[in-house]
């Protein structure tokens, strides 16, 4: 997802705690024996997911205040409770670590930040949800040959700390090595990448997997997600993508498809089930993913998808139902990108009004659930 620093505004934006950060309590200790099953088996248990976007991944402010720096309120268990009650059983927790690291060479994670991340992860675990914890808006893993050793150094040292903190969690907790690693600001950023970028991302994915596998507790059996170049669903980015011989690894892709409807602000606001051009783009996406990965026994999770608000709820609801229906047919769990944004000039993907803890676009949520039936 393109970084969106636009403030996220619920329709009920008045929040007495909006500018405060709650004191983080001692995280609940979570321990459990991890079930020894393949990732292909694990993803079959997943239904549909929800992203806690523009929250722990936000990069404004400092310390614990970063959580609310892009306009969303402090995350509460009540929010995650309603997510689960509605029918979502996967929670993705996008998290940016860069602003919470000490200096080189150790890159020690701020203890208060790690506690807060664990607290939010526990909201999902306590709801018996699959929780995906990642690295999100990091600037240090630019995938070039002149940066690869520096990126590996930071990646492995930070993930080693995260793995240690969560080592006793069971199969409900999944680690996602990187979000959308790409050559930001270059001609290759969003066009599928190049040989150099593909190679470096393969190296970083390998370093991530090796780090987790060599850590303690349940981590040798931890399910891990690795992205293609930019986590792109463009098959050009898959040309040299390497999937290791590890049955607990999942490919991470993102797909806002059709682009002109789902993501492009200047694109169309209409999507119709009766228009074969509209449905065809979704069909081709699913066919490509199935042919390249799932049919070969390689599990995939669509870590981000959604259609931005263009005052077109009816079209978005119809699209959501069809999208999930087609994804379900190939065994592809999808996770809606909810950035909490409902107004302004940014990318408006909000579904849950977090301050009131109510759904604002019920028709879309219903469409998502119907698609999975």
Whether residue 271 is contained in a domain is answered as yes
**Pairing label, strands 224-232, 300-305:** unpaired
CA–CA gap between residue 246 and residue 294 (Å, rounded): 15
Is there a domain that residue 31 lies in? no
At residue 308, the pLDDT reads 97
pLDDT of residue 20: 47
3-state secondary structure of 50: strand
Q: Give the residues of the chain that fall short of pLDDT 50.
A: 2-7, 11-20
End-to-end CA gap in the chain: 27
- Asked, for residue 16, whether it belongs to a domain, the answer is no
pLDDT at 316 (0 to 100):
98
CA angle 324, 335, 189 (to 5 degrees): 110
pLDDT given at position 71: 95
Strand runs labelled E in the chain: 48-52, 90-93, 130-134, 173-176, 224-232, 249-254, 300-305, 334-338, 352-353, 358-359
- Helix, coil or strand: residue 248: coil
Instruction: Please write the tens of the pLDDT for every residue from 246-261.
Output: 999 999 999 999 999 9
Angle (CA) 44-46-50 rounded to 5° is 155
Cα–Cα dist 332/255, whole Å: 12
Please indicate, yes or no, if residue 18 is contained in any of the structural domains.
Answer: no
Whether 304 is covered by a domain: the verdict is: yes
Residue 5 lies in a domain: no
Report pLDDT digits (tens) over 167-210. Answer: 999 999 999 999 999 999 999 999 999 999 999 999 999 999 99
Q: Which residue has the tokens 């150099």?
A: 196
Q: 249, 201, 207, 190: which is closest to 228 by C-alpha?
A: 201
Phi, psi torsion values for 126, nearest 5 degrees: -65, -20
In the block, which residue shows the tokens 């402010």? Answer: 61
Domain with 238, as residue range(s), is: 39-372
Give how far Cα 364 sits from Cα of 84, 259, 322, 340, 346, Å.
16, 18, 11, 15, 19
For 181, half-sphere exposure in the C-beta direction (CA atoms, 13 angstrom radius) is 32
pLDDT for the residue numbered 339: 98
CATH number, domain of 69, equals 3.20.20.80
Q: Identify whether 341 is part of a domain.
A: yes
Q: d(Cα 293, Cα 276) in Å, to the nearest integer?
A: 25
pLDDT at 345: 82
Q: At what angle do helices 313-329 and 362-372 cross, to 10 degrees?
A: 20
The residues that are catalytic are 180, 304
Q: How many domains does the structure of the chain reveal?
A: 1
Domain assignment of residue 368, yes or no: yes
H or E element in which residue 372 lies = helix 362-372
pLDDT at residue 164, as a whole number: 98
């Amino acid at each position: 997802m393109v970084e969106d620093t636009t403030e996220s505004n619920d329709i009920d934006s008045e929040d007495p705690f909006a500018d405060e950060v709650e004191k983080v309590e001692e995280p609940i200790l979570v321990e459990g024996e991890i079930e020894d099953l393949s990732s292909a088996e694990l993803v079959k248990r997943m239904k549909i997911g929800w992203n806690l976007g523009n929250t722990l991944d936000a990069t404004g402010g400092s310390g614990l205040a970063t959580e609310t720096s892009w306009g969303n309120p402090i995350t509460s268990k009540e929010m995650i409770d309603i997510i689960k009650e509605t029918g979502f059983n996967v929670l993705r927790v996008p998290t940016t670590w860069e602003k919470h690291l000490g200096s080189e060479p150790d890159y020690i994670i701020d203890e208060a930040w790690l506690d807060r991340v664990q607290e939010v992860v526990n909201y999902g675990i306590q709801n018996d949800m699959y929780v995906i914890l990642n690295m999100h808006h990091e600037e240090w893993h630019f995938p070039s040959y002149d940066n690869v050793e520096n990126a590996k150094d930071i990646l492995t040292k930070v993930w080693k700390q995260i793995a240690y903190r969560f080592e006793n969690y069971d199969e409900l907790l999944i680690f996602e090595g990187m979000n959308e690693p790409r050559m930001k600001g270059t001609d290759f950023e969003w066009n599928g990448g190049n040989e150099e970028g593909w190679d470096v991302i393969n190296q970083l994915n390998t370093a991530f997997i090796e780090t987790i596998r060599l850590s303690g507790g349940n981590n040798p059996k931890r399910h891990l997600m690795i992205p293609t170049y930019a986590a792109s669903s463009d098959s050009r980015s898959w040309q040299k993508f390497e999937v290791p011989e590890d049955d607990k690894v999942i490919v991470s892709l993102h797909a806002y498809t059709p682009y002109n409807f789902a993501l492009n602000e200047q694109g169309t606001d209409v999507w119709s089930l009766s228009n074969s051009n509209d449905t065809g783009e979704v069909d081709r996406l699913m066919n490509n993913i199935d042919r390249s990965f799932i049919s070969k026994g390689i599990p995939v999770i669509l870590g981000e998808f959604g259609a931005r608000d263009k005052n077109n709820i009816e079209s978005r609801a119809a699209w959501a139902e069809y999208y999930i229906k087609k994804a379900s047919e190939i065994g592809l769990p999808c996770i809606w990108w909810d950035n909490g944004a409902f107004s302004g000039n940014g990318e408006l993907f909000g579904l849950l009004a977090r301050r009131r803890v109510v759904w604002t676009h019920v028709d879309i949520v219903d469409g998502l659930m119907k698609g999975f039936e």
